[in-house]
Structure 1
Amino acid sequence: MTSSDLSSYVRLSLQRALLGNVTPNIRAVVVELKNKNISLLFYFDGEPNDDDEELVSVVETEVIADFDEDFVIEAIATRLDYPQPIKNTNGMLVFLRNE
């Protein structure tokens, strides 16, 4: 699989996993891909609670199911209150809340 194909596959996998799992307090979801390391970055408006952490875990599990076991996939929930800008330095923006 080429780098471009892998990038597209990662984005589609995450978008599928997000279906029905986006809550109003999620400001953005960014995916970073470095070789076979995939980071899913969730930016929440307010402190992520237990339900938010569970939702992030569900999305992470669905993405993990789409890849071979030699991929390392991690999900990180971060508080980033509005109007602070979304940090999208090294990743691909997969979801952005209308603000």
Structure 2
Amino acid sequence: MDFRVSVLLSVQRGLWDIVTPNLRGVAVLARYPDVVVRFLFEDDPGEEDRENVSEAETYVMADFLDEVSVAAQAEWVPASLPRELKSGEEWVYLRKESA
């Protein structure tokens, strides 16, 4: 299976049971051997949010061999700001927001 597809599926599985109302979106950059996952939160991510990000990161790491580097980070992006992808990223999750 293609690395990009494997990463997208892995991150989606990593999101099971950790999506909270505070989570606005999840963006992924998959460039072998690196995976970077950004979790965008409406409010400043608290301890529970950061634990959820760490849990998802662990699930993704478990899906790949040691040569693949996985880094997940929590970011505060208030609802007053747009959700934007960085170069090379793709959305894995977006919550519904009013236009």
Q: Deviations over 1:35-56 (max 9, x none)?
A: 2010010000010001100000
Q: Deviations over 1:45-87 (max 9, x none)?
A: 0100011000000000000000000011000100001131112
| 2:51 matches 1:64 | no
Q: Is the partner of 1:19 in helix, strand or coil?
A: coil
Contact 2:50 2:74 in 1 (8 A): yes
Unaligned runs of 5+ in 2: none
| 2:91 matches 1:93 | yes
Equivalent in 42, 46, 62 of residue 43 of structure 2? 46
The 10-residue stretch of structure 1 (51-60 or 82-91) with the greater mean CA deviation from structure 2: 82-91
TM-score w.r.t. structure 2 length? 0.93
Q: Deviations over 1:16-41 (max 9, x none)?
A: 11011100000000110122010010
CA distance in 2, matches of 1:56, 1:94: 14
CA distance in 1, matches of 2:40, 2:28: 11
| 2:24 matches 1:32 | no
Q: What is the number of equivalent residue pairs in this alignment?
A: 96
The sequence identity of aligned pairs, in percent, is 36
Q: Which runs of 4+ in 1 moved over 4 A?
A: none
Q: In structure 2, what residue type is equivalent to 1:48?
A: P
CA distance in 1, matches of 2:62, 2:32: 18
Unaligned runs of 5+ in 1: none
Equivalent in 19, 23, 46 of residue 20 of structure 2? 23
